[in-house]
Amino acid sequence: MTMKKALSTAFVLLLLLVTVSGALAEKNVLITIAGDCTIGGEGHNRKKEDSFFAFAEKYGYDYFFANFRDLFDNDDVTFVNLEGVLSDNEFLENKGKTYRFRGDTDYVKILTGSSVEGVSIANNHIVDFGEQGERNTRKTLDENGVKWCRNDKYFIVEKDGVRIGFFGLENSKIYTFRPEMGKMWKKLKEAGEVQAIVIYVHTGSEYVGEHREQTTKIMTNLIEMGADLVIISHPHVLQGIEVINNRMVFYSMGNFVFGGNSAIRYEKYGGNKEVTSLYSMVIQVNMTFSNDGQFLGQRTVIYPVYISDDPQINHFQPKRLSLEEAEPVRAAIQRDTAFTLPELKADENGFAYMEMPYTPATDGTMVPEE
């Protein structure tokens, strides 16, 4: 081989190496997700000392999410299910419903002051005060920079050129709107508008610790249509985890900052099985992308949670747990999970967490280096 050809070949190999290296270079988006949040409560409880309203007045707006500010402050987006209305009046209150949840519009500062950037309002309580209550909620969120999603309305978070779409789907629309949502996702991805999709689905059976087979079928369909991470709310208690087509499904996150109940609930289901609304979890999902925007996969850390420091009374301030405290929370998730969950570990502050194995987006995708 001549010197000229050797240099030419070396240049081509170097160019290929740079190209491949650039394609595999990682970009990361860190997402924190928590469960059902009712920032308010029922109107008839407003003057009670054990109500969310009384706690807001006594302890201030920073009280409720205080134990998770370190996680929320240091991510790229925090995403929760906002279970209720933000409105300063009770017009069009749907008194036919057993529970109607409302918080003052000023309570939006509880979200903004605690670094909660995005919410799903795709749930059965967004219409507790009719169309006006929903409009007031959307307007309040918009004016305060909190992104929201519901069915065909979505928001996008962008970092380093990577765009992730956040969606919410309520139970009443699961069968009627789901096909349209799939078409929307296909267009968004094909146009390069988003590189990954996260969806909060409001469905399932309340106070039941195991998901239904039908729920698995629906979540599988959502993943086949393009969802890359699926989160479920509504059961108000923890359920399990599943990996479907290399995508993670969390069947129920449980409650989080939940002003809807001042008492912790314990319910029987399926014979002698018992669940409690005391247990919850927060997850942090680190989504990884190649330099050209290809979704590579995700690392997920699960933080076991109690929604109150009292096992009987809801103080509306979720707390991180020690290893001993976290064991029953892990067991509640494991009961509805087919694979064995990782063992609990403790961080430098003694708080428990579970680190899930890296989940590649497709079979054979390289696992990013530590």
The pTM score is: 0.91
Say if 110 falls within a structural domain.
yes
| pLDDT-above-70 percentage for the chain | 91
Closest CA to 301 of 357, 354, 338: 354
In a domain, 276, yes or no: yes
Neighbour count for residue 246 (Cβ, 10 Å): 15
What mean pLDDT is reported for the chain?
92
Average pLDDT over residues 209-236: 97
Is there a domain that residue 67 lies in? yes
- With the CA atoms of 314, 318, 319 and 321 taken in that order, what torsion angle do they form, in degrees rounded to the nearest 10? 90
Q: How far apart are CA 361 and CA 370, in angstroms?
A: 17
Please write the tens of the pLDDT for every residue from 38-57: 999 999 999 999 999 999 99
323 within domain boundaries: yes
Q: How many CB atoms lie under 10 A from the CB of residue 20?
A: 10
The 10s digit of each residue's pLDDT in 166-215 is 999 999 999 999 999 999 999 999 999 999 999 999 999 999 999 999 99
Count up the domains in the chain and report the number. 1
Asked whether residue 180 is domain-assigned, the answer is yes
Summarize pLDDT for 42-95 with one digit per residue, the tens: 999 999 999 999 999 999 999 999 999 999 999 999 999 999 999 999 989 999
Q: Is residue 25 part of a domain?
A: no
Q: What is the pLDDT of residues 284-316, one digit of tens each?
A: 999 999 999 999 999 999 999 999 999 999 999
Contact of 86 with 129, CB cutoff 8 Å: no
| CATH number reported for the structural domain that contains residue 282 in this entry | 3.60.21
What is the reported pLDDT for 272? 85
Range of the domain at 86: 33-360
Q: Does some domain include residue 10? A: no
How many angstroms separate the CA atoms of 206 and 233, rounded?
10
d(CA 107, CA 127): 18
Strands 352-355 and 345-346 turn out to be: antiparallel
Q: Is 293 exposed, middle or buried (0-12, 13-18, 19+ CB in 10 A)?
A: middle
**Residue 87 placed within a domain:** yes
Q: Which residues contact 306 (CB under 8 A, 6 or more apart)?
A: 278, 279, 280, 318, 319, 321, 325, 329
